């Protein structure tokens, strides 16, 4: 299964190696930013939430520009400087000492990260064909989480709230990891250039920019689905999940790191099997299943909060189980979302489509952290659990409504149209 999932072109394999190396550094810091800002640097919950939300706001504001630059100049010329800027910003987190410096560093990271996801996805899409993209994107996600899990295990073993230098060390290592994909891309001089040819004299420009992207009704529905799902899913990991686990379930940050490792193990061991099972099946129905699985994960975490005082071990296992169940949902989402985005995109607008897709995380990155803090303070965190569970189920309904807007090829269904789907045509 691994051999089948690997991309055919060696350039794509090297790009994925860069993803793995940078993910190890990301795993060192992923679940601890909120804890670092509040418990180590002394920011209040609302201040830390606003800092993380500000990062999402700046990313969101700059992502459209990143997509335009990628289509105009090629992903390579955009991605390389962005990786360097993000490395500088991440390393600067080690020097944060006040609310002002936290906002400044968050802004720098957002500037660098605004085009990284869309740039990497555009490059990988350009190095693969339609038949292998879903497998390749799924494998890339497995490698991403393998690196995050390894980094999480390392940080879980060394970090200590009473010793700020341990947090400073992992942020510096995270900064160095962002330079790995940058160096690999430098060794591939023919990768990442502009996909579509510039319009010649006398020809009309057919791209249409973001207006054309926004007129794409299936893609609009996909974006709405992604916004709801990520706001109630991914955007809750750094704030909602970590804070609920530490404060309501009353586990230590080390248990949070173990939960992240369980998430990684689930993804690494099940991703290839899920990719194989999803081939030839409806992508929209797979997305609907993701919402249901995410909702189940949050319900398990909510149950852990209810029993935390009576059985600490079972409560801790509930935190780990929540993360593992969430990871299974991610194995279904990771190959489908980028594959469906690029199935709807054209070469002229591929950068913009991928930028719009990455903006989903920017918007949810604002809403999730800003709302999680107040929700966690109501009814001992139960209101937060109810909101995220309900939001994931709404996302499932949106995914099912997308099914009728796609062709069989876009939806990833097996080739060969059933008789009942045939449209009558004029002889």
Task: Indicate which CATH number applies to the domain containing 7.
Answer: 1.20.1250.20
Residue with the larger pLDDT of the pair 176 and 260: 176
What is the per-residue pLDDT for 421?
Answer: 40
Share of the chain above pLDDT 90, in %: 34
Cβ atoms 368, 250 nearer than 8 A = no
For every residue of 5-70, DSSP letters joined together read HS-SSHHHHHHHHHHHHHHHHHHHHGGGHHHIIIIIT---HHHHHHHHHHHHHHHHHHHHHHHHHH
Q: Is residue 221 part of a domain?
A: yes
Say if residue 366's pLDDT is above 80. no
Q: Is residue 312 part of a domain?
A: yes
Instruction: Give the pLDDT band (50/70/90) at residue 197.
Output: low
Residue with the larger pLDDT of the pair 361 and 352: 352
Instruction: Give the pLDDT band (50/70/90) at residue 387.
Output: very high
Residue with the larger pLDDT of the pair 395 and 380: 395
Q: Is residue 288 part of a domain?
A: yes
What is the per-residue pLDDT for 113?
Answer: 87
Cβ atoms 119, 84 nearer than 8 A = no
Q: Is residue 280 part of a domain?
A: yes
The total number of structural domains that make up the chain: 1
Residues 234-247: pLDDT tens digits?
A: 888 877 898 898 88
Q: Is residue 381 part of a domain?
A: yes
Mean pLDDT of 383-406: 94
What is the per-residue pLDDT for 46?
Answer: 85
What is the per-residue pLDDT for 426?
Answer: 44
8-state DSSP, 389: H
Please calculate the CA angle 408-141-9 and round it to the nearest 5 degrees.
75
Say if residue 58's pLDDT is above 80. yes
Instruction: Give the pLDDT band (50/70/90) at residue 293.
Output: very high
Residues 211-237: pLDDT tens digits?
A: 889 889 999 999 999 999 999 998 888
What is the per-residue pLDDT for 312?
Answer: 83
The residues, ordered by sequence, that sit 6+ positions from 338 with a Cβ below 8 Å of its Cβ are 121, 125, 133, 137, 354, 357
Say if residue 290's pLDDT is above 70. yes
Mean pLDDT of 264-283: 88
- What b/e sequence results for 275-292 when a residue is b if at least 16 CB atoms lie within 10 Å of its CB, and e otherwise? beebeeebbbbbbbbbbe
What is the per-residue pLDDT for 267?
Answer: 87
Say if residue 11's pLDDT is above 50. yes
State the residue range of the domain holding 276: 2-192+213-411
Instruction: Give the pLDDT band (50/70/90) at residue 400.
Output: very high
What is the per-residue pLDDT for 223?
Answer: 93
Phi, psi of 217 (to 5 degrees): -60, -45
Helix-, strand-, coil-residue percentages of the chain, each rounded to 5:
80, 0, 20
Q: Is residue 202 part of a domain?
A: no
The residues, ordered by sequence, that sit 6+ positions from 197 with a Cβ below 8 Å of its Cβ are none
What is the per-residue pLDDT for 205?
Answer: 44
Residue with the larger pLDDT of the pair 159 and 299: 299
What is the per-residue pLDDT for 340?
Answer: 92
Torsion sign, CA atoms 192, 58, 62, 111: negative
What is the per-residue pLDDT for 196?
Answer: 63
What is the per-residue pLDDT for 176?
Answer: 92
The residues, ordered by sequence, that sit 6+ positions from 292 with a Cβ below 8 Å of its Cβ are 392, 393, 396
Instruction: Give the pLDDT band (50/70/90) at residue 105.
Output: very high
Q: Is residue 100 part of a domain?
A: yes
Q: Is residue 198 part of a domain?
A: no
Instruction: Give the pLDDT band (50/70/90) at residue 414.
Output: low
Say if residue 152's pLDDT is above 80. no
What is the per-residue pLDDT for 420?
Answer: 40
């Amino acid at each position: 299964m691994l051999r089948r999932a690997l991309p055919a072109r060696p350039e794509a394999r090297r790009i994925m190696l860069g993803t793995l190396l940078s993910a190890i550094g990301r795993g060192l810091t992923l679940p601890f930013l909120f804890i670092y800002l509040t418990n180590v640097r002394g920011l209040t919950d609302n201040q830390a939430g606003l800092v993380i939300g500000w990062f999402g706001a700046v990313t969101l504001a700059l992502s459209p520009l990143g997509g335009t630059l990628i289509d105009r100049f090629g992903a390579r010329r955009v991605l390389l400087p962005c990786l360097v800027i993000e490395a500088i910003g991440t390393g600067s987190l080690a020097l944060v000492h006040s609310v002002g410096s936290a906002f400044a560093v968050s802004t720098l990271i957002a500037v660098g990260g605004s085009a990284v996801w869309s740039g990497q996805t555009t490059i990988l899409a350009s190095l693969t064909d339609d038949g292998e993209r879903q497998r390749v994107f799924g494998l890339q996600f497995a490698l991403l989480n393998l690196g995050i899990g390894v980094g999480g295990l390392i940080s879980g073993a060394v970090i200590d709230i009473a010793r700020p230098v341990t947090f400073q060390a992992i942020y510096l290592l995270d900064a160095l990891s962002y330079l790995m994909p940058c160096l690999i891309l430098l060794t591939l001089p023919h990768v990442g250039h502009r996909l579509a040819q510039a319009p010649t004299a006398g020809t009309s420009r057919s791209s249409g920019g973001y207006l054309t992207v926004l007129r794409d009704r299936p893609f609009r529905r996909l974006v709405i689905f992604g916004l709801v799902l990520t706001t109630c899913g991914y955007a809750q990991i750094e704030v909602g999940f970590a804070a609920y686990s530490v404060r309501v379930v009353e586990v230590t940050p080390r248990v949070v790191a173990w939960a992240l490792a369980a998430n990684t193990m689930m993804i690494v061991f099940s991703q290839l099997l899920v990719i194989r099972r999803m081939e030839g099946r409806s992508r929209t129905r797979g997305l609907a299943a993701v919402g249901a699985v995410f909702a189940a994960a949050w319900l398990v975490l909510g149950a852990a909060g209810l029993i935390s005082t009576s059985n600490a071990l079972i409560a801790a296992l509930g935190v780990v189980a929540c993360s593992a169940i969430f990871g299974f949902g991610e194995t279904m989402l990771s190959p489908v979302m980028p594959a469906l985005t690029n199935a709807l995109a054209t070469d002229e607008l591929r950068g913009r489509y991928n930028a719009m897709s990455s903006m989903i995380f920017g918007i949810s990155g604002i809403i999730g952290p800003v709302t999680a803090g107040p929700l966690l303070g109501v009814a001992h965190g139960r209101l937060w659990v109810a909101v995220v569970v309900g939001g994931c189920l709404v996302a499932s309904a949106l995914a099912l409504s997308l099914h009728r807007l796609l062709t069989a090829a876009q939806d990833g269904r097996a080739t060969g149209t059933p008789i009942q789907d045939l449209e009558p045509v004029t002889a």
